[in-house]
Amino acid sequence: MTHLVPLAKEVDDDKVTPGVLGFIVFAVMALAVWGLMKSMNRHMGKVDFKEPEDSSAKAEAKASSDAGPQRG
């Protein structure tokens, strides 16, 4: 990191630029986001959004509908 200090002295004191280090940090962050998006896409592809048919839940629903309205 100390070898970057002499490069900073060549720049005008009134001008602020991100420089090479800023570009490297931005590029690393962009690659990290790209990797995370690719991983998320792969994991979301494995998700099954359909609920499995549950015969006991259907039987309970049918039994409650056959009993008719309950009065308190």
30 contacts 47 by C-beta, under 8 angstroms: no
What pTM was estimated for this model as a whole?
Answer: 0.47
E strand or H helix at 64, and its extent? helix 55-66
Taking the C-alpha atoms of residue 36 and residue 30, their distance in angstroms, rounded to an integer, is 10
Q: What is the pLDDT along the chain (72 residues), one digit of tens a residue?
A: 556 566 556 666 778 788 899 999 999 999 999 999 999 999 998 888 787 777 776 667 666 666 656 555
